[in-house]
Amino acid sequence: MDPLRTVKLTHTVIWAFFVACILAIPLFTVLSRFRMAGFFAAIVGVEVAVLLLNRFTCPLTNVAARYTSDRRANFDIYLPEWLARNNKTVFGTLYIVAMLLLLVCWVASA
């Protein structure tokens, strides 16, 4: 497998993992499994910190850039271009909403 495909596949798998973590937060929240929701929130929080330290860019984007001159929004990941372009907005919003739900439900349960 060529290096770009390897990076794109790795990036896509890692992206799917973090999307699953974001979706798990409200799921565990509505089930009153606050510890699990917090666990997934922390995992995503680490990813947010990595993005912040890397100027809001995934480090794998820089790796993929070594292997192509293509700079479309999805040059480094197997996602539709519109989703790759709006990824941070879509999933950042979902993460914030999930965190607010977690906070409200946790406080209400106390």
Cβ atoms of residues 107 and 29 within 8 Å: no
The confidence score (pLDDT) of residue 38 equals 98
Q: Kindly report the backbone phi and psi dihedral angles of residue 100, in degrees, each rounded to the nearest multiple of 5, phi listed first.
A: -65, -45
Where exactly are the structural domains of the chain?
Answer: 3-109
Q: What is the DSSP string of 51-83?
A: HHHTTTS-HHHHHHHTT-S--STTTTSSS-HHH
Which tens digits make up the pLDDT trace of 34-81?
A: 999 999 999 999 999 999 999 999 999 999 999 999 999 999 999 999
Cβ neighbours, 10 Å, residue 105 = 17
